[in-house]
Structure formats: structure tokens, C-alpha cells
């Protein structure tokens, strides 16, 4: 099966700083990626997605970067806030198949 992994299981940032969460994927045929946020006691919540024909996509305070050469995905959160503290998952999909999720990175925002 495919593996989706994260470089760091935990990340601590100061409130107001930018956060970068990384994700490596192994299937070069993956053509769609999603970032999810999971707060304590809740299910994963969709943040942003990107297709393989794009390198960058921006949302509200979040940016996803895709580097297909090294099969690397990152989520950037600008001006991190305490409410951003959560576990962040990346998920990859190749056409017609299911999503494969990473194990998650736990982000802690220090006030």
C-alpha cells in the first residue's frame, strides 16, 4: 500500500509566528491532496486541497505547496493562533482509489 508520512510528529510555535507542517508521499501517481485539521474531541475537518497540476494554493491564512519532484506537500499557516492547535493530516489520492492518510502532526501554539 501507499504510505503518507510526516517529517515531525509534533510542532510548537509561538502565537503570531508562521507554522509549516510537512508531508511526504510515495506515490508519484497521486493527483489530489487534502489537508485536514483535527481538534481534540472532534473529527477531521477539511482545510484546503490541491491538485497535482498546481504547485501552490492559498486559502484564508493557509497555503499549501506541492513539490512533485520530491513528492513533498506542506501546509503553511500564517500568524498562528491558539485556535490552530490541533493535529494536522495530509491525505493523498490517485484517480479512482481511496484516500491515504498520514499519521498526523500535532501543532501546539504557545501564547
Partner 1 sequence: ETGVTQTPRHLVMGMTNKKSLKCEQHLGHNAMYWYKQSAKKPLELMFVYNFKEQTENNSVPSRFSPECPNSSHLFLHLHTLQPEDSALYLCASSPEGLAGGLAKNIQYFGAGTRLSVL
Minimum CB–partner distance for residue 4 and partner 1 (Å):
7
Q: Which is nearer to partner 1, 28 or 97 (CB)?
A: 97
77 binds partner 1 per the rule CB under 8 A: no
Report d(CA 75, CA 64) in Å as an integer: 5
Geometric angle at alpha carbon 104, from 41 and 68, rounded to 5°: 140
Report d(CA 37, CA 12) in Å as an integer: 16
DSSP conformational letter for 30? -
26 binds partner 1 per the rule CB under 8 A: no
93 binds partner 1 per the rule CB under 8 A: yes
Contact footprint for partner 1 (CB under 8 A): 4, 9, 31-32, 34, 36, 41-46, 49, 51, 89, 91, 93, 96-104
Amino acid at each position: 500500500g501507499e504510505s503518507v508520512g510526516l517529517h515531525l510528529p509534533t510542532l510548537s510555535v509561538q502565537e503570531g509566528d508562521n507554522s509549516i507542517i510537512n508531508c511526504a508521499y510515495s506515490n508519484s501517481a497521486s493527483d489530489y491532496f487534502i489537508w485536514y485539521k483535527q481538534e481534540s474531541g472532534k473529527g477531521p475537518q477539511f482545510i484546503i486541497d490541491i491538485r497535482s497540476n498546481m504547485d501552490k494554493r492559498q486559502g484564508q491564512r493557509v497555503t499549501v505547496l506541492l513539490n512533485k519532484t520530491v513528492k513533498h506537500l506542506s501546509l503553511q499557516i500564517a500568524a498562528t493562533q491558539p485556535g490552530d492547535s490541533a493535529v494536522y493530516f495530509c491525505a493523498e489520492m490517485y484517480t479512482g482509489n481511496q484516500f491515504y492518510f498520514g499519521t498526523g502532526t500535532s501543532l501546539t501554539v504557545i501564547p
